[in-house]
Structure 1
């Protein structure tokens, strides 16, 4: 666990060991996310469309599942 100080301008230096582990390089962009008292630094995807491509591949079609559920609801009415 590393402890760092916040500068007067609000800057925080990510320790070298952590930058290397997570692949942070000069110019990379990050997002700060507040999880109800826990602050996370998350790398911003350079191309979010490309990164999410295929994320739901191979799973059940959500459209088909919704249509099936709707048919079941109509049959019960």
Structure 2
């Protein structure tokens, strides 16, 4: 598949071409992750594989916030 084109609506919505939605298994209601990488916007369907890839990426974040909260109280 080559480059496909779409446009942004007045509401900021973008239509993902049907061919690409079918190939990627994107259906009505599929949640998408939106990420900026330099001058590129990445849209990724949130799938079980995507969620598995996030495991451990926030490890310790809660502990850091908890420690900061305790420091503020002192």
Q: Return the TM-score normalized by structure 1.
A: 0.57
Structure 2, gaps ≥5 residues long: 56-74
1:47 shift after superposition: 8.3
Runs of 4+ in 1 over 2 A off after TM superposition: 45-48
RMSD: 2.5
Deviation per residue, 1:29-67 (Å, 9 max, x gap) = 00111111111101113586xx529x9xxxxxxxxxxxx
Structure 1, gaps ≥5 residues long: 56-77
Q: 1:43 aligns with which of 25, 45, 53?
A: 45
Partners of 1:35 and 1:52 in 2: CA distance:
21
Q: Return the TM-score normalized by structure 2.
A: 0.60
